[in-house]
Structure 1
Amino acid sequence: MPNRGNGGVGRFSGWRAVLAACAVAALGAVAPAASAAELSIVFTSTMADIEPVEGEGGLANLATLLRTKRAEGNTLFLHGGASLTAGVLSTFDRGAHMIDLLNELQPDMMAVTKRDLGFGKDELTLRSYEARFPFVSATTIDRNTGKVMEGLEPSALLDTPVGRIGVVSAISPDLTVQYIVPDIEVRPPAMIAAEARALRAQGADYVVAILDNAPEAVEALRGEPAIDALLQLSATGKDVLEADKGKLFGVHVNVKGSAFVLRLDGDGKAPPALAGAAIVPLAGLPPDPAMEKRVGVYLARLSELLDITIGTTATPLDTRRAAVRTGENAFASLIADAMRGHFNTDAAFINGGNIRGNRQYEAGTVLTRRDIQRELPFRDTIIAVTLPGKALREALEVSAAGVENQKGSFLHPSNMAVVYDLKQPAGSRVVSVTVGGKPLDPDARYSVALPNYLAQGGDGYGMLKSPGASSGASGKLLWEIMAQHLTDRGTVSPRIDGRITER
């Protein structure tokens, strides 16, 4: 495994450097000698949930790929991030278990994405100091200092036998819209072109740029001469790898678990050349026994906490991404109804992005706390606020505006019915709204149960912002409300009942 260079990872010093050196030395002792003319780069991202899912690969499969590549020769492991939130266990430890497991896999760096800031700036900084590898983002700026936030590096420069490999990454601009991070400014993703040029000036022979979504920046960055490989994370679509005139462009979706493997050839004098690239489905690899055992320890802890039956669904449920972000959904309606019932409000909203299970449940499925925790992994509290009717209509317009892109801002209401015309331009799609069977009065005030996140204006819902909401607001955790709702009823039968329709 190549040694780290000094550029971009200056903070990687002291006791952290000692730990890293020990880890590298241990690997070097067991790996065979590699050709100085070849380097494999393994790239993957988005593995927040350690629970095994049929047909999907996980950390244990990734460990096998890394072990194989490292045995074959010189290898860099670049991690695209998006792994510290939205997993079941992350709800309890804010992603600390993932750092522990990644330390075993020994990434050479990890890009920071908007999802990694799901628990806020301070938690990400803590995770960065637990890691034996640098967190990289050139565009995540602390407003208090005007510099890259504490715990992050703007880039990494890594020494390898084929030359110095520079890595830079940009976070999605949606961070400040979708998450409550008032101290963070996101600079335009295209600015990492300047960081790539700076890496060249520091001696980088090959530069990899990692882009957290932000498709609007792709074309400009693909044309940047200082960038050799551009790897974009995407929430939808399929994995893509394209090579053109020695440059590489990749889109990593990782819905089913995959890794990119790039091969560079060089002699350490001239810049290395791209010799090949492949998409590797992780599910097709046998799990590494040691990593499987490590993951199993955490899964056993989860079983003690969550393998408790709380109810049964008499009807089928679908929590896949498209199902909860494009139209009425029975499970989302069940959540919204539970929220409204808990606070006895006029209405309730839950955003589809809060639902992360990406699963289907047959009628008659017995639900456990594990199921609910998996579906609702964020530690979001629910509060009751009072809002004017015009704010509710404005919120529904924002909800409808993101349907085509399957945005997590899509709202599911309770005790409301909305008719959309999605053929109309965004901002003019709400045809009608009723609350409790009566037309919405724009001047009337309604009590509404909301996730505290929405009540702080998250996901672009500034019109829902309420004085009583704050990052530390006291309230009932969403998954606790759902668990109690199911426990009280024993069996539920959520159905599509016409609360969201299209004209």
Structure 2
Amino acid sequence: MSRDRDYGRRDVLRAGGIVLGGSLVSGPAAAADGEGATTLTVLSYNDIQTAAAQDENFPRLVTLIEQRRAAADGPVVVVGGGDEVGPHALSPISQWRAPVDVLNEVEPDADVIGNHEFDYGLDPISDVTADSEFPWLATNLVDTETGEAFDGTESYRIVERGGVSVGIIGLADQGATTGKTNIDFAAEGITIEDYTETAPAEAKRLKEEEGVDAVVALAHTGIGDAEGLAEADADDDIDVIVVGDDEQLYPPQEVDGSIVSESRARAAYLSEIELTIEGGEVTAWDGELIEVTEDVEKDPTASGIINDYRAEVSLDSPVVETETPLNATFGANYHRETGYGNLITDAMRERVDADAAITNAGGIRSDSVYGPGEITGGDIFNTLPFPNTVVSLELTGEELVETLESQVVTLESDTGQQFGEEISQQTSGLRFEWVPHDDADELVREVYVGGEPLDPDETYEVAVNSYIANGGSGYPLEDKPVVEETGELQATTVVDYLEPQETIAPTVEGRMQRVDRDLPDASVTVDGNGKVVTQFDAPDDVDSVAEDTVAVWASDGEHLDAEKAVFDDEEATLMVRVDDGDLAETVEDADDGEEVPLDLYAKYESSEFDHIYFERSRLNADVAATVRRRGRGRAGPPGR
């Protein structure tokens, strides 16, 4: 449902600084401690999400918070960076209640409304806050008429502890509101103020009018925007920025006079920042990320809460055995086809007997890999935790292409420069190429539906989840005709699909083929004898070709690795050789004289493209293969 991602982790987990002349320089907090100084510890977490349904990291995080509270040399403030109440496997049963019940045991001083706090709708926010024994902040999400925090939330919270006064504010950007929910905030009477203007102004007010010693901003914005907030805070009134949303491992570090930190997600880390408060201001700091490991004992109360909810839905019951890994990581599902994405969409397509199925990459959660081995119902609900149902829509071929193109992120875009080019979805019943570059004539091309070339004027039944059917994740589907509304949770659909099967082994089948540059078209004859050799002129940006990656693909997913491939860098040519007999088996269903469209793909080093996620660029050539049977009937072994 959202685009929260973390494709890597930073190696350095500790940093520190001293405030001198309005900026931070390296050095431990203790270096500035003097008579009358107080050490304030800020503990923070963010994006609990799927951990809320598991008796693993979350109960351990509760214990770790209590341990660090006890070890602190002075007052402690505990805060969250948002996205705590969803999505998780218990959402269909407990909604927000399981994570809120556990957080009530933590007794945080404040948390911020993030996009996943809206998973259950706008009105239930007041139910979330009513069940919470701590405040939820939304400083820049205000009632349009009154200018005050919208129903159930607070604009700020001041914590007085150990002689120190701390002002806390909560912020969300457009990406974490209109960009990741289906809520029309303007129509609901909520104004989303520019956090880079609202936050510095509120921080200044808290210091000048309320007399707080430090200001902590809970920013559900992601690291990039949080760094932008630090830069926008010209007077350095915001001392700490606790970040959520993009789930990065970002140890505390100084950015333009503010200390910025993010604890990745799913209760995997706790951020600890020590501020030296002296004379009513922060004079030094030290900080680190502390990993939540199995060495930390689980808090028994937190474990009991989670396990009581789990028992209601039998999440620990085995469903199927998988022989291949089920990859639910963000990095894989946003960037490329995955075996698990194929399984999910196959289940959706079968459920409504549709021509094709599409699901958004952000709807596949947990950022984990399951199997090989036993898969439980909890595993499926953990990866598909939203209350989305399976819906089928009627789309023309032209609309189907537009739908697929809506999710392509080009390498040259701002998102592409941060995360790399992305296809951002998983599909079934479809095969197509995607060209992730701003100069591409078509972002999606050569589309096949059920093995047949797409007809722009034909109508197709396409299975999707209810979130994207309503226009979520930027899909242009909100006004499309509905064929069937199952009312069945997407996770339930997948479980029902798996239960009759003893074992599964989903793999990557070439449903979505990335292409950076094209080779010239080629024509070959396939008669089942000898070798087929073709030479291509290479584009100017090809420095070298990974010869072991060259393969020929048919439109039904059958493919054949090249027997030999040689790139001549002086002549800028690529020679490819395949066994004719093996190639004939790839097109064995073709009639004598029939021309079969094939595609050749190869990975290469480019002098032009600097990829963020992928290691290499990718070439494509359209190959027209004319089948000749030579009077032997269909190609095949003797006696067939």
TM interval, shorter chain, is 0.7 to 0.9
Query: In the TM superposition, what is the alpha-carbon distance from 1:240 to its structure 2 partner?
Result: 2.6
Matched, 1:449 2:449: no
Query: In the TM superposition, what is the alpha-carbon distance from 1:211 to its structure 2 partner?
Result: 1.6
Q: 1:399 to 1:237 in 2, by over 3 A?
A: same
Q: Matches of residues 130-141 of structure 1 in structure 2 within 5 Å? A: 130-141=131-142
Matched, 1:195 2:207: no
Q: 1:281 aligns with which of 291, 309, 312?
A: 291
TM-score (norm 2): 0.66
Query: In the TM superposition, what is the alpha-carbon distance from 1:375 to its structure 2 partner?
Result: 1.3
User: Quick one: distance in 1 between partners of 2:441 and 2:125?
Assistant: 35
- Alignment partner, residue 78 of structure 2: 77
Deviation digits for residues 382-404 of structure 1 (CA, Å, limit 9, x no counterpart): 11111222222122222121784
Query: In the TM superposition, what is the alpha-carbon distance from 1:218 to its structure 2 partner?
Result: 2.7
Are the aligned partners of 1:234 and 1:251 in contact in 2 as well (CA < 8 Å)?
Answer: no
User: Quick one: distance in 2 between partners of 1:327 and 1:415?
Assistant: 16
Secondary structure of 1:489 counterpart: coil
User: Quick one: distance in 1 between partners of 2:203 and 2:486?
Assistant: 44
Query: In the TM superposition, what is the alpha-carbon distance from 1:166 to its structure 2 partner?
Result: 1.1
Q: Matches of residues 87-486 of structure 1 in structure 2 within 5 Å? A: 87-142=88-143, 147-174=148-175, 175-182=177-184, 183=188, 185-190=191-196, 191-200=198-207, 201-214=209-222, 215-216=224-225, 218-224=227-233, 225=235, 226-243=237-254, 247-254=258-265, 257-267=268-278, 269-283=279-293, 286-287=296-297, 291-303=299-311, 305-363=314-372, 365-401=373-409, 404=416, 405=419, 410-424=424-438, 428-463=442-477, 465-466=479-480, 468=482, 475-486=487-498
**Amino acid across the alignment from 2:497:** H
Q: Could you tell which deviates more after superposition, 238-247 or 151-160?
A: 238-247
Query: In the TM superposition, what is the alpha-carbon distance from 1:490 to its structure 2 partner?
Result: 3.2
Matched, 1:64 2:70: no
Q: Could you tell which deviates more after superposition, 328-337 or 419-428?
A: 419-428
User: Quick one: distance in 2 between partners of 1:114 and 1:38?
Assistant: 33
User: Quick one: distance in 2 between partners of 1:375 and 1:273?
Assistant: 44
Are the aligned partners of 2:83 and 2:245 in contact in 1 as well (CA < 8 Å)?
Answer: no
Q: 1:102 to 1:433 in 2, by over 3 A?
A: same
Are the aligned partners of 1:239 and 1:250 in contact in 2 as well (CA < 8 Å)?
Answer: yes
User: Quick one: distance in 1 between partners of 2:295 and 2:275?
Assistant: 23
How many pairs were matched up?
461
Are the aligned partners of 2:91 and 2:387 in contact in 1 as well (CA < 8 Å)?
Answer: no
**Amino acid across the alignment from 1:450:** V
TM-score (norm 1): 0.83
User: Quick one: distance in 1 between partners of 2:449 and 2:407?
Assistant: 17
- Alignment partner, residue 586 of structure 2: none
Are the aligned partners of 1:94 and 1:123 in contact in 2 as well (CA < 8 Å)?
Answer: no
Secondary structure of 1:475 counterpart: strand
- Alignment partner, residue 11 of structure 1: none
Secondary structure of 2:52 counterpart: coil
User: Quick one: distance in 1 between partners of 2:441 and 2:152?
Assistant: 39
More helix by share: 1
Q: Could you tell which deviates more after superposition, 338-347 or 219-228?
A: 219-228
User: Quick one: distance in 1 between partners of 2:96 and 2:144?
Assistant: 24
Q: 1:203 to 1:427 in 2, by over 3 A?
A: farther
User: Quick one: distance in 1 between partners of 2:479 and 2:271?
Assistant: 41
Secondary structure of 2:274 counterpart: strand
Q: Could you tell which deviates more after superposition, 159-168 or 316-325?
A: 159-168
Query: In the TM superposition, what is the alpha-carbon distance from 1:353 to its structure 2 partner?
Result: 1.3
**Amino acid across the alignment from 1:121:** L
Query: In the TM superposition, what is the alpha-carbon distance from 1:68 to its structure 2 partner?
Result: 3.7
Deviation digits for residues 137-186 of structure 1 (CA, Å, limit 9, x no counterpart): 11234568664321111111222335321111211312223222223553
Query: In the TM superposition, what is the alpha-carbon distance from 1:492 to its structure 2 partner?
Result: 2.5
User: Quick one: distance in 2 between partners of 1:351 and 1:115?
Assistant: 16
Are the aligned partners of 2:243 and 2:261 in contact in 1 as well (CA < 8 Å)?
Answer: yes
Are the aligned partners of 1:222 and 1:249 in contact in 2 as well (CA < 8 Å)?
Answer: no
Q: 1:351 to 1:315 in 2, by over 3 A?
A: same
- Alignment partner, residue 29 of structure 1: none
Q: 1:216 to 1:74 in 2, by over 3 A?
A: closer
Deviation digits for residues 418-471 of structure 1 (CA, Å, limit 9, x no counterpart): 20122445895223322122232333221111111111001111345436599x
Q: Could you tell which deviates more after superposition, 87-96 or 436-445?
A: 436-445
Query: In the TM superposition, what is the alpha-carbon distance from 1:488 to its structure 2 partner?
Result: 2.8
More strand by share: 2
**For the aligned residues, what is the CA RMSD?**
2.9
Query: In the TM superposition, what is the alpha-carbon distance from 1:491 to its structure 2 partner?
Result: 2.7
Show structure 2 runs of 5+ residues with no match. 1-35, 516-640
Matched, 1:490 2:490: no
Are the aligned partners of 1:44 and 1:259 in contact in 2 as well (CA < 8 Å)?
Answer: yes
Are the aligned partners of 1:162 and 1:266 in contact in 2 as well (CA < 8 Å)?
Answer: no
Secondary structure of 1:371 counterpart: helix
Q: 1:275 to 1:335 in 2, by over 3 A?
A: closer
Are the aligned partners of 2:394 and 2:481 in contact in 1 as well (CA < 8 Å)?
Answer: no
User: Quick one: distance in 1 between partners of 2:274 and 2:150?
Assistant: 33
Q: Could you tell which deviates more after superposition, 201-210 or 300-309?
A: 300-309
- Alignment partner, residue 31 of structure 1: none
Percent identity between matched residues is 23
Q: Could you tell which deviates more after superposition, 66-75 or 41-50?
A: 66-75
User: Quick one: distance in 1 between partners of 2:330 and 2:441?
Assistant: 23
Q: Could you tell which deviates more after superposition, 100-109 or 237-246?
A: 237-246
